[in-house]
């Protein structure tokens, strides 16, 4: 796994411990981040995460997009259980890494896959108010978020 992806995983899963309620949009099929996506910074670039948090019993996907709207990470949940983590390299539609989980255990034999307990809570985000203080405004011509 590239250093950038490891940093994104660590930052998103561990450091940002704030959560807000998830929305009911079908996030698995979203091609671009919704306007109400969470914002984070990684290596000086803005990343977008939707939904902001994973509620108990959640079925669907939590996705992270890069500043140009490309999918970087996709977590798939079924009834609150993480079943798949996929990471993507810039410009690619097929995942560079696919990590499968079953019965709360990692079943994929890759060193790049995080343990179940490190990922099951989803990617953490900060409250929107904190985002506004920390992350500079994104010019509309460079903002991939859609309604």
pLDDT tens digits for 83-126? Answer: 999 999 988 889 999 999 999 999 999 999 999 999 999 998 98
Average pLDDT over residues 71-90: 95
Sheet holding 105-106, edge to edge: 38-42, 45-50, 60-65, 71-78, 81-87, 97-102, 105-106
Sign of CA dihedral 95, 26, 50, 119: negative
Q: How far apart are CA 81 and CA 135, in angstroms?
A: 31
DSSP assignment of 5-73, as one string? HHHHHHIIIII-----PPP-S-GGG-SS-BTT-EEEEETTEEEEEESS---TT--EEEEEE-TTS-EEE
pTM for this entry:
0.80
**pLDDT tens column, 17-32:** 333 334 444 789 999 9
Domain regions of the chain by residue span: 3-136
């Amino acid at each position: 796994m590239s250093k950038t992806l490891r940093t994104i995983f660590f930052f998103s899963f561990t450091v940002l411990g704030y959560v807000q309620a998830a929305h009911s949009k079908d996030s698995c099929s979203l091609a671009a981040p919704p306007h109400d996506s969470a914002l984070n910074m990684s290596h000086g670039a803005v990343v977008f995460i939707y939904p902001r948090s994973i509620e108990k019993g959640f079925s669907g996907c939590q996705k992270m997009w890069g500043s140009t709207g490309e999918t970087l990470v996709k977590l798939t949940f079924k009834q609150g259980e993480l079943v798949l983590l996929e990471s993507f390299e810039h410009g690619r539609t097929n995942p560079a890494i696919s990590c499968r989980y079953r019965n709360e255990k990692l079943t994929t034999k890759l060193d790049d896959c995080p343990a179940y307990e490190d990922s099951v809570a989803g990617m953490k985000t900060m409250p929107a108010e904190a985002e506004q203080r920390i992350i500079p405004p994104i010019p509309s011509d460079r903002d991939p978020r859609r309604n």
